[in-house]
Amino acid sequence: MKRFPQFILIFSTALGSWLGMQAAHELGHVLGAYLTGGQVARVVLYPLTISRTDLGVNPHPLFVVWAGPVFGVLLPLAIWGAAAWLRIPGVFVLRCFAGFCLVANGCYIAAGSFDRVGDCQQMLRHGSALWQLWLFGALAAPSGLWMWNRQGPHFGLGRAGEPISPAVAYASLVASVFLLVLVFCA
């Protein structure tokens, strides 16, 4: 029973990071469309698929397509930074989330450039150079790995594992369930 909060914390952080990353990325596309006079037809957010934003009108496709990964890393970094500045308990969960968003978006854009899939296809079609996609990936993914560095003990892992706060574990679970409900209602 002593390990249950640790399980809850790790599981909910992983689930919340996946769902939150998709939501932040797609919100970037939606905001990009809104700022450039575009019209969003549909946002697809399902836990077991790759998310996407379909546009009805898109007068500035290059801006909109880059808004997804750029906002998808900046929003989580801003949330983590604000929580760290405010010294919110369990801020390491938000650091892990921000790191996940950096790794996921960085790998998606860099690796996707080879097969020209998803956003990468649109980026290249509308004028981005391959080196820009690779640069984004080269900056984002290692930064995410750096953010994850030495976070294991906060999750009770390793010899220096810290005790797990049930309040942090259950707050992470509530946030993950909220994101899951949001995804199924979208």
Q: What is the pLDDT of residue 84?
A: 97
Q: Record the pTM.
A: 0.94
Task: Give the model confidence (pLDDT) of 39-52 as tens digits.
Answer: 999 999 888 888 99
Tell me how far apart the alpha carbons of residues 58 and 39 are, in angstroms, rounded to a whole number.
Answer: 7
Phi, psi of 58 (to 5 degrees): -145, 85
Measured CA to CA in angstroms, residue 180 lies from 50, 84, 89, 132 at distances of: 15, 25, 23, 33
For residue 13, the model assigns a pLDDT of 97
Cα distance between residue 107 and residue 113, in whole Å = 10
Q: What ranges do the domains of the chain cover?
A: 4-185
Q: What is the mean pLDDT of residues 62-71?
A: 98
Residue from 65, 63, 79, 62 nearest 21 by CA: 79
Q: Give SS3 for 48.
A: coil
pLDDT in tens, 115-125: 998 999 999 99
